Amino acid sequence: MRALLLTLVLGASLTARAQGLPPSEPYAPPARLLVNEVRTQVGLLVGGYGFEGGGWDDAFFLNSTSGHYLFGGFTAEAGLLSLVPLERGGPQSSYALSARLGYTGERWSVLAGPVLQATYPGSPLIQVLPSVKGRYRLGEVTLDAAVLDQQGMVPAHVGATYGPVGLAYVLPLGARAHARIPLSPRVALLVEGFAFRLSSARSAMLTVGIVGIPPSSRSGATP
């Protein structure tokens, strides 16, 4: 009988304590530096070669679609780019496909993978190049560095993003910039451009596009 009374008293005490505790919150995964994102861009690319006493350039219509998706912290990124010449009798159309895998934490992200560039007819028909990009958030500024970013269009750069605006130095001599103009909480207008010189080669690009963030994305910084 005493054991039964002790059990009842102990059960009542535990129940009272449990009722006095605040309700537990559902588990939420930590916010990460990147969010799921899809983007499409169109624009103009001008590229060519300069030499003593002259040079030549060709103009291309550029179309690019890319995006990245997070599986927890593991991140997959892919992109497809096409360049169509605006004049006949010049260079042929070319295409580039990139695929990078990596991991994204609360303050950092690293992605790496190949870029496949194809030109038909061309020699070689297909080139495979390595690509890597890293980001690190320092307060309200996100630092980034990459090799052969944007489907291999940018040789190498180091830069920083503050809010909707980003600036970067393109090696060995050039610059890159982008700006996001919010149209809604999950859609933004993206204006991006670069210009650089690499030995005798030179290239400049200006694009306008749309960035979409799926509803499944958690709030956080965007690249």
Write the CATH number for 95: 2.40.160
Better pLDDT: 27 or 153: 153
Answer yes or no: is pLDDT of 9 > 90.
no
Output the pLDDT for position 28.
53
DSSP lists the bridge partners of residue 34 as: none
Task: Count the neighbouring beta carbons within 10 Å of the beta carbon of residue 56.
Answer: 9
Output the pLDDT for position 154.
93
Contact predicate 187/175, CB 8 Å: no
Residue 102 lies in a domain: yes
Residue 168 lies in a domain: yes
Helix (H) / strand (E) element for 19: namely: helix 2-20
- Looking at every residue in the chain, the average pLDDT score rounds to 85
Answer yes or no: is pLDDT of 104 > 60.
yes
Percent of the chain with pLDDT over 90: 65
Answer yes or no: is pLDDT of 112 > 50.
yes
Output the pLDDT for position 8.
41
Please confirm whether the linkage preceding 182 is cis (ω < 30° from 0). no
- E strands in the chain: 37-51, 54-71, 74-85, 94-104, 108-119, 126-138, 141-148, 154-162, 165-170, 173-184, 187-198, 201-212
Output the pLDDT for position 18.
46
**Range(s) of the domain holding residue 85:** 30-212
Better pLDDT: 92 or 67: 67
Average pLDDT over residues 1-15: 46
Structure tokens at 199: 């030995």
Residue 69 lies in a domain: yes
Better pLDDT: 112 or 185: 112
Residue 13 lies in a domain: no
| C-alpha angle 190-44-85 in degrees, rounded to nearest 5 | 145
Output the pLDDT for position 108.
96
Residue 16 lies in a domain: no
Answer yes or no: is pLDDT of 168 > 70.
yes
Output the pLDDT for position 149.
94
Contact predicate 114/185, CB 8 Å: no
Structure tokens at 9: 């008293």
Average pLDDT over residues 177-195: 95
3-state SS class at 161: strand
Instruction: Give the span between the Cα atoms of 129 and 152, in whole angstroms.
Output: 8
pTM comes to 0.79
User: What sign for the dihedral angle of Cα 219, 138, 161, 136?
Assistant: negative
Structure confidence by residue, pLDDT tens digits, 123-151: 778 899 999 999 999 999 999 999 999 99
Residue 153 lies in a domain: yes
Residue 217 lies in a domain: no
Instruction: Give the span between the Cα atoms of 167 and 148, in whole angstroms.
Output: 17
Report the number of distinct structural domains present in the chain: 1
Contact predicate 9/179, CB 8 Å: no
Contact predicate 177/157, CB 8 Å: no
Structure tokens at 156: 């190498």
DSSP lists the bridge partners of residue 60 as: 45, 85
- The lowest-confidence range among 72-76, 90-94, 192-196 is 90-94
Residues counted in the chain: 223
Answer yes or no: is pLDDT of 7 > 50.
no
Model confidence at 30, in pLDDT bands (50, 70, 90)?
Answer: low
Residue 96 lies in a domain: yes
